[in-house]
Chains A and B, each alone.
Chain A
Amino acid sequence: MSSTEQGTSSAAPAEPTTAPESAAAPEVPESFYYVHGKDKVVHKVSAGALQHSALIHGMISNLGYTEEQAKANPFPFENIDGDILQMVVDWCNQHKGKPTPPEDTNLPKQKEKLFDLVLAVNYLEIKELLTYCCKQVAMMVKGKSPEEIREIWMIPTDAEDEAAEKEAKKRAGKEAAGETAAAAGDAK
């Protein structure tokens, strides 16, 4: 497994230059966790950034990992492409501890990437990012005709839907017949 520890140093907000408050309590060192996607590239992300994801936040709260345990056991998200996970990690780092702006212009414009990102964000339960992505998906069809919408969102026609349904029924029938035959064979 390759490991690229990224996303924390470059994207972390700059330290304030004002004098430290003498009365302030000593800062608790930030804890880090590790995640990887389909490409097995591990991303180091601070707990603060991961707060955006309800799924990961829940996992962290339940597991109570130490720094070493977290490093040894990165959270695997095998259903998310590496580049998509990278985007999600970057977004979480950029918006760590900040109020989320009403618009986000850094989202991908290509529909395949955007749909992938929507699925990943929905899975990871990052509500704000999901809202942005859904707005972006809706923007894709602004002022478009039904034919254009069908093409952009890859919506099958009624005939294609019916054909797919028939195909699925046929396949299910075959599978059921296969299972019955296998069960009958086992009984003999």
Chain B
Amino acid sequence: MPISFPILPRLVKLEILSNMTPFELFALSHCSKRCTELVPLAGTKDYQYIIDLSNLTIAIRAGNFQQYTFSFNGTLPDAFAISSQNPILELKTYLLKFFDISALNKFAGLRFTCKSIKFPQELRIENSSWFGIGQLCSAVNSSVKIELHGSLLSIEDMSLFLEKWMAGEFPNMTTFLIEIHSHRFNSNDARVLGMQLPIWSLERTVTKRYFDRFYGWVVDGTIIKNVNGVSAVLKFHTDSPNPFHFMVLA
């Protein structure tokens, strides 16, 4: 009987897989169900995904900090182009497969079942209109840095989130920096935490913090403290280029 890949010892397979790029691993995962189960040995669980729906790309940041991009409409020159009649459908198929080989819980359609999903350490979503307050409350328990663009979160949503934080309802919070740009942050005519918007410091301040390999800063923020004595710097100014900026201090 000729020797084939499936009968190689597991440790040898692991060594082989560690020499493969996400593109090759993705192709391998399509060979059979057993291969799909095997691929996570290559550390795909640690992959970070950057999904850009406006440009139809999925970028993968692998454990070695190299980035690989799949482009579904072929506009990105250095990306791995996926030719298809229906790029959106193809992107969805790839996403499902990626989440399969990342050993994350599956999501149905394009809607995440977010409560059970472990979010990446650095969560940056360009078109985050689908990302709700419930998902934000889940994400703060696994992500370190959250950046949402094109969001539809409202001032009331952020008020709710901040009230929860003030009441110490995130005992396992891992996030230190949240930055949100929302289409609904369109007026300063609202109160948050009993304060009239905009919430910011009239004195020019820059608060910086290093956290692990991450770096964050908030300009002109005001200090708030929750019931557990944890301090944070907050700036909530709907006319500012960074309308919602929140950073937990050490």
Contact = CB atoms under 8 A, between A and B. Distances in A.
Interface of A: 112, 115-116, 118-119, 122, 130-131, 134-135, 137-139, 141-146, 149-150, 153-158, 161
Contacts of B3: 112, 115-116, 119
Contact of B32 (A116, A144, A145, A161): A161
Shortest beta-carbon contacts, A-B, top 9:
A154-B4, A153-B5, A138-B19, A146-B30, A115-B3, A134-B15, A134-B16, A150-B31, A155-B31
B79 to A, nearest CB: 15
For the residues of A in contact with B, the DSSP-based class is helix
Contacts of A156: 6, 32
Interface residues of B, number: 24
For the residues of B in contact with A, the DSSP-based class is helix
A145 B20 CA distance: 14
Contacts of A119: 3, 8-9, 12
30 contacts: A115-B2, A115-B4, A115-B5, A118-B8, A119-B12, A122-B9, A130-B12, A134-B12, A134-B15, A134-B16, A134-B19, A135-B19, A137-B16, A138-B19, A139-B19, A141-B27, A141-B28, A144-B27, A146-B27, A146-B28, A146-B30, A146-B31, A149-B24, A149-B27, A150-B32, A153-B31, A154-B5, A155-B32, A156-B6, A161-B32
Contacts of B50: none
Given A138-B16, A149-B28, A155-B32, 12 more contacts: A112-B2, A115-B4, A119-B12, A137-B19, A138-B20, A141-B20, A141-B24, A144-B27, A155-B4, A158-B32, A158-B33, A161-B33
A130 B28 CA distance: 21
B12 A157 contact: no
Most chain A CB inside 10 Å of its own CB: which residue of B6, B16, B24, B34: B16
B110 interface: no
Nearest to A145: B27
Nearest to B28: A149
A151 B7 CA distance: 15
B163 to A, nearest CB: 50
Contacts of B32: 150, 155-158, 161
